[in-house]
């Protein structure tokens, strides 16, 4: 065999392999800012049910930029994110496509998905109030956080964190920017320490007596109290009471994890199939169990720890309409000097 024919054969066979990779339809590629380990049980269940392999890459910042740069060649099928702002960002960056699916529309309440089908919420978390054990509040409004009687008593993570900007955006959407600013200044005046750390640090700081109350997401309560985060965190979780707050006029502020189908998804059908699987009863129960979230689907089972927090009454505002104010919320945090 001459050198040229050998070379040709090698080229052809490697090209063949590449083509094989391209036509192998039984896979779906997932880009996610939601930590892949959290959704692994769900993806495993999907694979064992359908035989479709799920390839994942978990990233933090820059997912929309990466997909946009990859353009038409992007292998990404499904884009997952843990925050409504990030989901809206994806559709605004024009890296998603509209999906019409009766199954998705039936399972997901209209205020928790994009009207145009560009993104869908898959699980829900409430922004709850953690309090010291000696404080029992039967009800609490987000507006109360600015009440001067809590001066020096509140802990919270950075105002620029997505969980807080989403809440602030919600207040802007409800009451307008001027009132939101007043509220944020009031809250800032009540802080016991500089905003920072994570939601669980709020529980730990309450246990340490640094503050009396603070904001934290609902699933952290499950993670701490169940012992999934280790015995230390269990102590923090047991050191707090948890209240589901609401707006003075409205329900509880929630954020979501969700997903969107990529604009140039090479395996679009598989991506939609995966989305539909994720809102099935089976998968929704797994969401609740694996990460102590509220299922997005009405009637799906809750984890007992989360069920004990009381009935969640989600505020009726469309999430997309709240996320419109995310930038304004972030600028407000700057203006108030909240994180200083």
Partner 1 sequence: MTTESLALARTPHPWGVLRLRQYFSARHLGVGWQVASLALVLAVLVPLQSLLGHAMRGSGELWPHLLSYVLPQALQDSALLLLGVGVLVIALGSSLAWLVSAYDFVGRRELSWALLLPLAIPSYIIAFAYLDLWHPVGILQSSLRTLLGFDSPRDFKLPDIRSMWGCILLLGLVLYPYVYLPVRAVFSMQAGNLIEAARTLQAGPQRIFFGLALPLARPAIAVGTSLALMEALNDLGASEFLGVRTLTVSIYSTWLNRSNLPGAAQIALLMLCIVLALISIERWARRHQRYTLATRRMQPLARRRLTGWRGVLALTYCSLPITLGFVMPAGYLVGETYKRLRFSGLESSLLSELLNTLQLATATTLLAALLAFLLSFAQRMARTPLNRQILRCASLGYAIPGTVLAIGLLGPLAQFDAWINRLFELSGHAPIGLLLSGSSVALIYAYLVRFLAIANGSLEAGFSQLPTSLDDAARTLGSSPTRLAWRIHLPLCRPALLSAMLLVFVDSMKELPATLLLRPMNFETLATHLYGEAARGTYESGAIAALLIVLAGLLPIIALSRLAERRDSHGSSP
Site for partner 1 in 206-265 (CB under 8 A): 207-210, 220, 223, 228-230, 232
33: tokens are: 């800012």
Regarding 15 and contact with partner 1 (CB under 8 A), the answer is: yes
Decide if residue 20 touches partner 1 (CB under 8 A): no
DSSP label of 118: S
CA pair distance 94, 76, nearest whole angstrom: 14
Q: How many whole angstroms separate alpha carbon 7 and alpha carbon 13?
A: 10
Measured from the CB atom, is 108 or 223 closer to partner 1? 223
Shortest distance, position 150 Cβ to partner 1, whole Å? 17
Side-chain half-sphere exposure of 170, counting CA atoms within 13 A: 28
Structure tokens at 320: 């997309």
Dihedral of CA atoms 77, 80, 85, 89 in degrees, nearest 10, equals -20
Enter the DSSP assignment of 214. E
Q: Which one among 38, 80, 122, 126 touches partner 1, defined by CB under 8 A?
A: 38
Min dist. Cβ of residue 67 to partner 1 (A): 10
The residue count for binding partner 1 (CB under 8 A) is 59
Task: Output the CA angle 125-131-134, nearest 5 degrees.
Answer: 150
Residues 170-209, mask of contacts with partner 1 (x by CB under 8 A): -----------------------xxxxxx-x---xx-xxx
Phi, psi angles (nearest 5°) of residue 88: -65, -40
Rounded to the nearest 10 degrees, how much is the dihedral formed by the CA atoms of 98, 102, 104, 105?
A: 90
What is the C-alpha to C-alpha distance for residues 48 and 56, in angstroms, rounded to an integer?
16
Candidates 89, 58, 50; CA nearest to 76 is 58
Lay out the site mask for partner 1 across 47-76 (x = CB under 8 A, - = otherwise): --------xxxxxxxx--xx--xxx-xxx-
Q: Does 29 bind partner 1 (CB under 8 A)?
A: yes
109 contacts partner 1 (rule: CB under 8 A): no
Of 161 and 297, CB closest to partner 1: 161
x/- contact string, 296-335, with partner 1 (CB under 8 A)?
------------------------------xx--xx-xxx
The Cα–Cα gap between 163 and 217 comes to: 8
Q: Which stretch binds partner 1 (CB under 8 A): 14-22, 147-155, 177-185, 245-253?
A: 14-22
**Minimum separation from the CB atom of position 234 to partner 1 (A):** 12
Please tell me the distance from the alpha carbon of residue 170 to that of residue 235, in angstroms, as a whole number.
Answer: 32
Write down the least CB distance from residue 139 to partner 1, Å: 27
- Work out the burial of residue 286: count CB atoms within 10 Å of its CB; fewer than 13 is exposed, 13-18 middle, 19 or more buried: buried
Q: Which is nearer to partner 1, 36 or 98 (CB)?
A: 36
| Smaller CB separation from partner 1, 144 or 222 | 222
CB-facing half-sphere around the CA of 276: CA atoms within 13 A: 15
As measured in angstroms, the least distance from the Cβ of 209 to partner 1 is 4
Is residue 50 exposed (0-12), middle (13-18) or buried (19+ Cβ within 10 Å)? middle
Least distance from partner 1 to the Cβ atom of residue 123, Å:
14
Residue 152 within binding range of partner 1, rule CB under 8 A: no
- What residue ranges bind partner 1 (CB under 8 A)? 15, 18-19, 22, 29, 35-38, 55-62, 65-66, 69-71, 73-75, 89, 158, 160, 162, 165, 193-198, 200, 204-205, 207-210, 220, 223, 228-230, 232, 326-327, 330-331, 333-335, 337, 339-340
């Amino acid at each position: 065999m001459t050198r040229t024919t050998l070379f040709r054969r090698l080229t052809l066979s490697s090209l063949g392999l590449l083509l094989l990779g391209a036509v192998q339809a039984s896979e779906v590629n997932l880009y996610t800012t939601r930590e892949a380990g959290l959704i692994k049980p769900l993806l495993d269940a999907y694979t064992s049910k359908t035989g479709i392999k799920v390839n994942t890459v978990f990233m933090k910042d820059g997912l929309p930029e990466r997909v946009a740069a990859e353009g038409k060649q992007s292998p990404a099928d499904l884009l997952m994110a843990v925050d409504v702002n990030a989901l809206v960002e994806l559709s605004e960056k024009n890296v998603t496509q509209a999906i019409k699916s009766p199954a998705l529309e039936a399972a997901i309440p209209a205020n928790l998905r994009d009207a145009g089908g560009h993104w869908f919420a898959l699980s829900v978390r409430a922004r709850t109030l953690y309090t010291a054990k000696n404080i029992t509040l039967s009800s609490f409004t987000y507006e109360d956080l600015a009440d001067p009687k809590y001066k020096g008593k509140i802990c919270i993570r950075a105002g620029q964190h997505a969980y807080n900007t989403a809440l602030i955006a919600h207040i802007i959407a409800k009451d307008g920017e001027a009132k939101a600013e007043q509220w944020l200044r009031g809250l800032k005046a009540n802080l016991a320490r500089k905003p920072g750390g994570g939601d669980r640090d709020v529980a730990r700081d309450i246990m340490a007596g640094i503050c009396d109350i603070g904001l934290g997401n609902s699933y952290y309560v499950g993670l701490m109290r169940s012992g999934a985060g280790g015995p230390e965190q269990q102590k923090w979780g047991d050191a707090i009471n948890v209240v589901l707050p609401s707006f003075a006029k409205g329900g509880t502020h929630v954020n979501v994890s969700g997903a969107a189908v990529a604009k140039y998804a090479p395996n679009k059908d598989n991506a939609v199939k995966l989305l539909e699987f994720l809102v099935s009863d089976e998968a929704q129960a797994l969401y609740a169990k694996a990460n102590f979230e509220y299922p997005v689907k009405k009637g799906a089972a809750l984890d007992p720890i989360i069920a004990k927090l009381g009935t969640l009454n989600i505020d009726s505002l469309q999430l997309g309409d709240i996320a419109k104010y995310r930038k304004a919320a972030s600028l407000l945090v700057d203006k108030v000097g909240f994180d200083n």
